[in-house]
Structure formats: C-alpha cells, structure tokens
Amino acid sequence: MKKQQYLNYIQKAVIKGRKDYDAATERWRENFDADYMFGYTSPGHISSQLHMEGLLYRISGENEYAQNVKEGIMLPIKLAEIFPEEIRLKRAEYHRGVPLMEPLFQLHAYMNSYLDIKDTGILTKEDVEIVKESVVRSITPLIFCPEWGAHNRSMLRACALVQAAAVVGESEETREWVKLADYLAEESIGRWSIEDASHYIPLWLFACIMYAKWRGIEDEYYSKPQTKYYFDYITHLITPEGQIPGFGDAWFHSDWQIWVACIEMGAAKYNCGKMKAAAHKIFEFGLKKHGGELSSGICNYIAYAYKWSSDEVEPSDIEFSTEEVLDELVGKKIIFRNKDSYMLYNFRDEGKYGYIPRQYLRTSIPVKAEKMHHGHGDENSIAHLEKNGNILLHESGYREKLPNGKYRADLYHNKLVFREGIKDTSDGIFNALHDDGFYKHVDTEKIHFQSFDEVDYLRTRNHYLPLNLTWDRSITWIKNEDVYIIIDWFEAGEDKEITTGNVWHTQNAVKISDTTYETYIDTVKRSQNDKTSYENKKDLSLLLEFLSDVQMSSAEAIRRNHGDATIVSECKTGSYKKGDREMFITVLTPHDRSADAASLTGKLQIEGFFNDKDAVSLIYDNRIYLTYKLNLRYGIHPFKEDRAPAYNWETGKIKYGKITTDADFAYTALDEESCRYGMFNGCKIFYNEKALFETPRYTARDFLLEEFRQIEHKWRCWSGTAELK
C-alpha cells in the first residue's frame, strides 16, 4: 500500500463523516444509558473524525480542517452534561467530573487532533485549558483501576497515561501517571502477550507501539526479539485472500484496520517487504468485508497506517507454505496451506508464563468462560478452513452479552468435547454436551509436525486435566487430493464414565448417510449486531465423513457466531478403565458444490487397528497407505537401569498389512512402478517386505555389559522414492 492510497480513503471518509456527524451524535443521545456498566462514553465518531481532520490539516495546512478540530475538541465537555449528577456522585472514580472521552479507545485520537493544531494559534488559552481538563477527567478513572498484565487493557492504559502526560504537561500528578504507565508496561515491553485472541492482540500491539513512541524508547522496543515476533506473527497468519482468521475472542476479521496500522509500522521499522504486502492484503479484504464502506471508526486507524507506513519499502511475495505460526511455546498454531488452500489449527493453552497477572485477572473480573485473557476453549481445534476464497469452517464468534461469552466454550469449536458421566442423548447431542460453558483447564504440546511432498502431518497433545485423560489429535493433509484426515485418540488416566462428542460447526448440512454430511456456509456474521452478513463464495462445499464406531451422529440447528448455524457431531459414551483408549476418525473433503457429494465418499478405509488401538493403518483411494503409532510408549523398553537406546527394530515394528514400520507416522504413495514414502521418528519402513528405507546400524558402548554392540538409531524424519520392481 502506498501512502496515497490510505490518504484517498481518509479524504473520502472525512467527507462522509461530516455528513453523518450530527445524526450520529443524535443517535448517541437517543440511546444514552447512564447505567451502562462501563460508565460514561462520549460518541465514538467524534474522536475518529477529529483524528482524520487533524491529520489532513497537518498534510494540507488548510484552515477548514483546523477549525473543525477546534469545534470538535470543545464538544465533549458540553455533551457530558447529559450524565446525571446523582449517578456521578455514586462513582468514586468520577470525583473530578465525568470522563469526557473513553480513555482506552477514544482519547488517543482526541489528543492527536489537539496536538495537530496546538501551535497554530487557533486555540485560545481558555481552549487549551478545556482540552487539558478533558484529558485529566478522562484519565482519572484509570488510576482507580489500572488493570495489569501483558494484555490489551493494561497497555492501552499505559499508552494513554504517557500521551496524556505529554499533552497536559509536567507536574507532580503527570509524573505519577508516567510512573504508573511504566509499571504497567513492564509486563509487555519485550515480553509475551498473555492473550490468544485475534481481536485483542492488535490492540495490545498498537498500545505497545504508542507507549514506545511517547516514552521515547522506540529504538529499544523495536530491537527486542519479542517485538518483531508479533509483526511476523501477523504476516504469517493471513489467508491467501487476506483475511486474519478469528481465534479466541473475535468477530469476523475484526480489528483488521488495527492490524494494517501495526504491520505498516513493522514493515517500515524492519524494511520488510512481506509485511508491506500483508498490510495491503489485509486492507483489501477488510474493504471487501465491509463492501467498501467509508467508516470514521475504521479510518481512525487507517490514519495511523498513513502516518506509520513507508513508500520506500517494496512489497514482496508472501505465499507461505505449511508452517508453524510461529512456534510451539507462544503461538502454538499450525497452518496447512498452499496458494489455494488454508487451514488454521490452534492448540494453544493458557501457558505456564504470566502466572500472577493471569491469577489477578481470574480473581478480579468475571472471566470463568475464557482462558486468560480473551482466549477460548479451543485447544486442538480447527479454527478456520478455506479454499479458493470459500470459507468452509470458521471460528465461533465472541459473545451475545456480558459477562461470559458462551461462544468461548469448547462446545462451539471444531474439536473433541469431553463430559464426565453417561449423558442422555435422547434430546440431541448438543443438549447432552451443553454445560455452564466454564473454561476447562488443559496443557497442550506439539508432538509431531512435518511437511512432506505428498502429505503434511501434525500431531498435538491435550492433557485434559478435568477428567485426567490424554487426547492426541493428528491431522494428515493429502495435498494433491486436498483431503484432511483427522484422527482423535484418547487414553483414560483413571476409571471414569465419559461422554465424548466429535463436533464440527457449519451453517448448513445435508445428510448423505448416518455418518456423512455435505456442509456449506453461505453467509458469515461480521459482528454481534450485523444486519448484512458477509457473503461467502458459494463454489465449494465441505464433505464431512465419520469413520468411527460410535453410538449416534446428528446435524442439529443451533445459534453460533450470532446467527443460525448447524452442529454436525458424533457421540460416544461409556465407562472407561485406566488405560482404556478411544478413537475417532474424520475425513474432510472440500469439493465443488455442484458435484455429487455421495460419489466422493468412501475413499478412506480403515485397514486395521493394532495392539488394542496402539496403532491404526488407513488406505486412501487404494494407493496411499498411512500408518499411525498412537501409543508412543509402544516398543520402548521400561529399563530400570541406565541403558540406552530403549528401543530396537524387532520390538518396535508393527506390521500394518502391506506396510511394516516402527515409525510414529509413515505414508506410502504408490504408482505403477514405484512409490513415494515418508516417515517420522523411526528406523525402517517396508512395503510388501521390500525395504523402502533402513537407517544404518551403528556401534555403541553398552555400559551394563561393558562391551560394544551394534544397535539401531531412529531418524527424526526421512522421505524418498523407491522402485517396486
């Protein structure tokens, strides 16, 4: 994006904002609620309009913009007269008067516009004092509740405090503001956000950027590896269409304008062409989402994109392939993708860092439905799936009402859902699994991840603490076929009755058989009060097949993401002994909506289960063999003495029909005279007794026997082609 493109949008938005200004103010009056839980908030369009007008004055020097800013910054103190005095007196934080601007989301724009015209001579001394009083009254409530921790609401406070101190001028009070801001920012500058929500991470990053600017520490801030991480994180998240998929608390592509502003700053600071290209793609999809709508709220942040962008940075290719985004400790996300297809998989738990801030939030505000902070019960969940711009799966949405957003609950995500006890499913699987929605605490970790030529393979583990069970989810993407195979396998950690649902969310579902559904999404709600939903492309559908031996499956109408939806699920309930295992297998196949979905079913077959569900082998289209060692303890010797290696080929191998291997995962893709293969964490792989690959044996010292012996060594990964004749 060139600066002129942003400027074109801003100029148009200013004109529209002027036309709508009085009507928007009147709507605010009509809907004013003095009992609103977050307190007094002035009309949001005022600060956004002021920001745009001030920026255009700075660029053009035209007096009209300066006059509009002057009139606008005087208005909040008059509008605040609507707030009843008797209610103000009940709020301790309003002791200096009603806060004239919402301090976290409005005040920065208000202060920017003031600074744009401050030295023009257009403001009288009395005007300046009114502005300073407006800032002081807006900032004061923050002192009463300075939420802290590495999250957006803390850093928005920090950046508001330091910018306000600069506007009001140095005094004993403003020095206290800066001191408080520094304490709040300590948790975030050069550290990791504790949020896992696409709606809130950009707000946190934006606030960090603003704090660094007003605190004069930009060189220090941008030199920190954690800082660059988040700019890269944004860049690697986007879909081929330019969407930032929802995860955690979010609406559809929400806060995209803040992502654009932030990533333009990243592109300029790091001279990164990929970030520059990403900003353009996000902007274009954002306008598409809104039908090209001109909005002062959006433009408030596009003004920052204009200020922070650099035309010196040339955009470069961002066609990433399958990858981790960006690691298994903080991001904990995997994206399967090529130039057409995209799947976002989120396995992030709360994490073991930021304990005290998380505990502070947990004990200070009603957030029982979420992980700290703004994250959903979405671990091991497919958050987004699309192909050629057709959205086939998407996130659950934010909330219908305060305090708890029900869409945060595990049941509203594409994952396994566990409930203690034998649940009655006679009234439907959804009702059987629905509960209070409180967050269930889990620990997660990546087990496997590898991209081969033929397939991409992932396995993550969920230590499900409430029921003391371990749940592994494996996803195999057969890339040329564009088919996703999901294997869910769990092991009971104690004797317990458990009901498990394998749940998938769509908008429409057509039943093909008792275990097969054709699903599709026509529209997506863009927000809680969306009147005109986003129109999805309608070229493709998603075929969903259950291959498990379960008690029942169903498609039920529910409400999700603020609109009509369908939950497609299968359910199994039973009594489990410690060590018992359960398995679910699901196949997802994107296909042309005009095609006969029934003709596409049945391509994946279960060849067999082995050693009490220690392992399973699958065959796709009679030519691609997939083997999974589900119990990773299989073949490992329980040596009591200090002896290694604790494995060998003879005890670790499993004969899966035509395939024999000791690998945790292996695939073999056949053609007429050869086969392509790949394996993960193994010594050997055979097809019909023919060795496709064998790791070389090597000589090691056996310290127990005090002698040398030849042993096998597992290779992390290998792939290749072998002749069959």
Tens-digit pLDDT profile for residues 550-600: 789 999 999 999 999 999 999 999 999 999 999 999 999 999 999 999 999
CB atoms within 10 A of CB 163: 24
Region of 699 (left: φ > 0; alpha: ψ -120 to 50; beta: rest) is beta
pLDDT at 644: 79
Mean pLDDT estimate for the chain: 95
Q: pLDDT per residue over 230-259, tens digit each?
A: 999 999 999 999 999 999 999 999 999 999
pLDDT in tens, 631-644: 999 999 887 777 77
> Residue 426 pLDDT more than 80?
yes
Q: pLDDT band for position 659 (50/70/90)?
A: very high
Give the mean pLDDT of 512-541: 95
pLDDT confidence of residue 399: 86
E strand segments, 412-454: 415-420, 442-451
Residue 652 pLDDT exceeds 80: yes
CA distance 708 to 426: 64
Residue ranges of domains in the chain:
3-144+231-308, 327-598, 603-725
Angle between helices 172-185 and 152-168 (to 10 degrees): 150
Q: What pLDDT does residue 368 have? A: 86
Query: What mean pLDDT is predicted for residues 324-343?
Result: 96
Q: What is the CA 422 to chain-centroid distance, rounded? A: 33
Q: In Å, what is the CA distance from 350 to each residue of 188, 197, 499, 588? A: 16, 12, 24, 28
How confident is the model at residue 37, as a pLDDT? 82
pLDDT higher than threshold 90 for residue 542: yes
Three-state SS at 292: coil
Q: What is the pLDDT of residue 39?
A: 87
Over residues 188-199, the mean pLDDT reads 97
pLDDT(403) > 80: no
In the chain, the percentage of residues whose pLDDT exceeds 70 is 100
Alpha-carbon distance 262 to 267, whole Å?
A: 9
Q: Residues near 202 by Cβ (< 8 Å), separated by ≥ 6? A: 234, 255, 258, 259, 262
Mean predicted confidence (pLDDT) in 68-81:
95
Q: What is the pLDDT of residue 444?
A: 98
At residue 402, the pLDDT reads: 77
Closest by CA to 656, choosing from 606, 604, 724, 608, is: 608
Residue 36 above 90 pLDDT? no
Tens digits of per-residue pLDDT, 263-310?
999 999 999 999 999 999 999 999 999 888 899 999 999 999 999 999
CA max distance for the chain = 93
Higher pLDDT, 613 or 246: 246
Q: What is the pLDDT of residue 525?
A: 95
Pairing relationship of beta strands 684-687 and 690-694 according to DSSP bridges:
antiparallel
Q: Does domain 327-598 have CATH number 2.70.98.70?
A: yes
